[in-house]
């Protein structure tokens, strides 16, 4: 079974930035470690920001809730 890590690497290889937004959000949701989650959310946020993806607003609020932006 393909792991999330593999999906992420594949998305990076294909430069699928919209896919990366979703995958990094999924990575953030799959951990209970706040620091790890914010690391992933940061990546999701940056790619969303770059692509003008409306998801950026929600991600921003999550980071803000943890004092990370």
Count of residues engaged in binding another protein, rule: CB under 8 A:
20
Q: From residue 10 to residue 49, what is the string marking binding to another protein with x (rule CB under 8 A)?
A: -------------------------xxxxx-xxx-xx-xx
Nearer to another protein, 7 or 42 (CB): 42
- Burial class from Cβ neighbours inside 10 Å (0-12, 13-18, 19+) for residue 65 reads exposed
46 vs 59: CA distance, rounded Å: 10
Site residues (vs another protein, CB under 8 A) = 35-39, 41-43, 45-46, 48-53, 56, 63, 68-69
């Amino acid at each position: 079974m393909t792991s999330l890590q593999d999906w992420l690497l594949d998305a990076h290889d294909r430069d699928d930035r919209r896919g990366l937004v979703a995958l990094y959000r999924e990575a953030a949701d799959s951990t209970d470690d706040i620091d790890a989650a914010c690391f992933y959310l940061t990546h999701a946020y940056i790619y969303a920001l770059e692509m003008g993806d409306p998801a950026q607003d929600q991600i921003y609020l999550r980071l803000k809730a943890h004092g990370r932006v």
